[in-house]
Structure 1
Amino acid sequence: PRLDGLFLRRFLRLQAVLFPGWPSPSALMFLTLLCVALLEQLVIYQVGIIPSQYYEVLGNKDFSRFKTLTAVALTLIVVNSTLKSFDQFICNMMYVSWRKSLTEYLHSCYFQGQVYYSLHVLREDIDNPDQRISQDVERFCRQLSSMASKLIISPFTLAYYTYQCFHRFKHMQIRVNAEPAAFYSWDQHL
């Protein structure tokens, strides 16, 4: 197998089977998974901020704020674990839906005309085509559903960190060029 134009065409053809239209259950589950994955990333970001807030609270010895921050941290952890579970549940639901759609599509192609006869009798190089259909569909749908949430969130994560790096790069340019900028600004005021 190669990752070429033929693979891409076949993969897009499969996507048309897995996502038959906009209001389809698969499309709605995919959209729900996108929302859950984005919300999960937001919660993970908030959990990542908490340790820096703890250092500030411990430095000020503010016990009431410490209790509040601990309650917020525990709530975020529970929300995060709930979102992760919901993420896995949606992926499993998509797996079942995709497996059903793809199996029905392949069986309709298999029983169309004399294809099943041709594969069983005339083609000796293909053994057990019906078993291959069921096992390959199961493997493909299982892998695709396990990758779905990671594939969904990757472009957003990439865009966010690209923005953060660009923002940091601009701040670093200001720091590196502080002296020329100061002289330029001073020259403007004369």
Structure 2
Amino acid sequence: RPPSSPSPHRPRPQLDLLFLRRFLRIQAVLFPRWPSPSALMFLTLLLVALLEQLVIYQVGVIPSQYYEVLGSKDFSGFKALTALAVTLIVLNSTLKSFDQFICNQMYVSWRKSLTEYLHSCYFQGQVYYSLHVLREDIDNPDQRISQDVERFCRQLSSMASKLVISPFALAYYTYQCFHRFKHMQIRVNAEPAAFYR
């Protein structure tokens, strides 16, 4: 049987309530308590990601300021704006590196915690014997523990900074769009608004 085809007696993985319960159970292992190193690294990642987004926004504003400076032919303003741009770019690259460093540290911490938890379950009550001798449908459970944990933690750590910043970016840009929409309504309805004071 080709490895891509699912086993007839094994259900296909689904994104359902069972998945959510299992994922939350894993999160309880990865974040055992509030002042744990994983929780502190995650909070640091949140702060770094927010600061990184703020710097990226400031870098995006610089081109419009350049046009103003070039139009006025202010050489000292041009030098100051160039120095600001270089500073923001260096700060942005430093924050990106720090972001990746924190994600890699979380990967190592999560992999260690999850592997230790699974091994404690594996050696409890002779589960290792049951899996190796009595269950023929599970091959190499010890290898699966090490490889699956490595893949899971690697993927989760690579997605962490994007998942952390997404709600804040979504809220911010929703606010900006709503604000622009209200301004557009005022512009479109300027005559009736002025007429009715």
Verify same fold: TM over 0.5.
Answer: yes
Give the drift of 1:176.
1.2
Moved over 4 A (4+): none
Match of 2:16 in 1: 4
Q: In the aligned structure 1, how far is the partner of 2:133 from the partner of 2:195?
A: 86
Q: In the aligned structure 2, how far is the partner of 1:179 from the partner of 1:54?
A: 35
Q: In the aligned structure 2, how far is the partner of 1:177 from the partner of 1:8?
A: 48
**Number of residues of Structure 1 aligned to a counterpart in Structure 2:** 184
1:158 and 2:176 correspond: no
Give the drift of 1:182.
1.3
1:19 and 2:9 correspond: no
Give the drift of 1:168.
0.4
Q: TM-score w.r.t. structure 2 length?
A: 0.93
Give the drift of 1:180.
1.2
1:170 and 2:185 correspond: no
Give the drift of 1:98.
0.1
Give the drift of 1:51.
0.4
Give the drift of 1:179.
1.4
1:121-163, Cα deviation, whole Å (9 max, x unpaired): 0001100000000000000000000000000000000000000
Residue identity (%): 92
1:43 and 2:55 correspond: yes
Gaps of 5+ in 1: 185-190
Q: TM-score w.r.t. structure 1 length?
A: 0.96
Q: In the aligned structure 1, how far is the partner of 2:94 from the partner of 2:193?
A: 50
Equivalent position SS for 1:94: helix
1:11-61, Cα deviation, whole Å (9 max, x unpaired): 000000000000000000000000000000000000000000000000000
RMSD, aligned α-carbons: 0.4
Give the drift of 1:105.
0.3
Q: In the aligned structure 2, how far is the partner of 1:53 from the partner of 1:181?
A: 33
Gaps of 5+ in 2: 1-12
